Amino acid sequence: MATNFAAIDCGTNTVRILLTKLKNGRVKELDRRLVITRLGQGVDATGKFNEEALERTFEALDSFAEEIEQVGGATTRVVATSAARDASNSQAFFEGVRERLGVDPEIIPGEEEAKLSFTGAVAALPQLDSPVLVMDIGGGSTELSLGDAKGGIEQVASLDMGSVRIRERFLASDPPTKPEIQAARAYIRELIDSSELDFSEVYTFVGVGGTVTTLSAINQGLTEYDREQVHDSIITPEELKALNARFLTTPISAINEIPTMEPGRADVITAGCLIAREISRVVGLPLRVSEADLLDGIIAGLIVK
């Protein structure tokens, strides 16, 4: 029976791994990390993967493969999300992943992405009152899932708005101009309104993913990133509004100087925060932050199998 399990997520902005060991019926986390590779660089405009972006992604996957080998192997699932759904040359990506990890990556639909994020998030947060809305802001898309805290998912939506997509499509200036912000906000609101989710039912609002966890660290004024302080933290609607106003008027160079800002995220955090703010505006509830997400949902599925 397998005891090591690895979940790898190849997203639009980051490539991430969660490596675990199952011991005495309990899951022990061996490693959880990400590399910002910007796999989706230019995909929104060109419809295909950039060669340099593929090289950066493969380099990260090489390090993941080495780590998996060091622990004696692992049952591994690799998923690819928004960028891979949109790229016409995804075959090069498929071949590169297979060569390095020995498994075929799965390009999962946004609805499955939403469900996996929901499963991972609600299992890691205690005493959630239902219905729960889980928001996962990625680089190319944003997944929303509404359901019961015990795991029953009732509604899901995958919206074509992510931190990289919104930055590349709308926010060209540094900092963005008012017309750019207005165009981005109108696009985001249109997608939220068309999602057909019943936001009036939401009792608990949960956020996962790099945008949300980074915003939490900044909101708390952390001088270095601390997962324990970020997990199960709260960002109020007023705090999120203030963060949004701050980023929309701050140059990327200044954002990059924030102590907890990961290299490679500074240019897209403004767009990610704008998305979070607009969803928060509709929901009207505090945002509860979870460090557990899609990766944890994948691991749960692998262990059950």
Q: Where are the domains of the chain?
A: 4-108, 110-289
Q: Is the pLDDT of residue 128 over 70?
A: yes
Give the Cα separation of 5 and 118 in Å (integer).
20
φ/ψ of residue 151, rounded to 5: 115, -5
Find the mean pLDDT for residues 171-187.
98
Residues facing residue 85 across a β-bridge:
none
Reported as a single tens digit per residue, the pLDDT across 284-293 is: 999 999 999 9
φ/ψ of residue 106, rounded to 5: -110, 125
Q: Is the pLDDT of residue 24 over 90?
A: no
Reported as a single tens digit per residue, the pLDDT across 53-82 is: 999 999 999 999 999 999 999 999 999 987
Tokens of 130: 């239902």
Rg (CA), the chain: 18
pLDDT at 246: 98
Q: Is the pLDDT of residue 206 over 70?
A: yes
CA-CA distances (angstroms) from residue 243 to 66, 102, 235? 39, 42, 10
**Average pLDDT of the residues of the chain:** 95
Find the mean pLDDT for residues 132-146.
96
In the sheet that holds 14-23, the strands lie side by side as 26-36, 14-23, 4-10, 75-80, 106-107
Give the Cα separation of 175 and 99 in Å (integer).
41
Give the Cα separation of 106 and 94 in Å (integer).
9
pLDDT at 208: 97
Fold of 4-108: Nucleotidyltransferase; domain 5 (3.30.420)
pLDDT at 181: 98
In the sheet that holds 142-147, the strands lie side by side as 153-159, 142-147, 132-137, 204-208, 287-289, 234-235
pLDDT-derived band at 1 (thresholds 50, 70, 90) equals low
Crossing angle between the packed helical segments 110-124 and 294-304, to the nearest 10 degrees:
90
Q: Tell me how far apart the terminal alpha carbons of the chain are, to the nearest angstrom.
A: 11
- The dotted CATH code for 110-289 is 3.30.420.150
Tell me if domain 4-108 and domain 110-289 are identical in fold.
Answer: yes
pLDDT-derived band at 151 (thresholds 50, 70, 90) equals low
Q: Is the pLDDT of residue 192 over 80?
A: yes
pLDDT at 126: 87
Q: Is the pLDDT of residue 150 over 90?
A: no
pLDDT at 118: 96
Q: What is the pTM of this model?
A: 0.94
Find the mean pLDDT for residues 109-138.
94
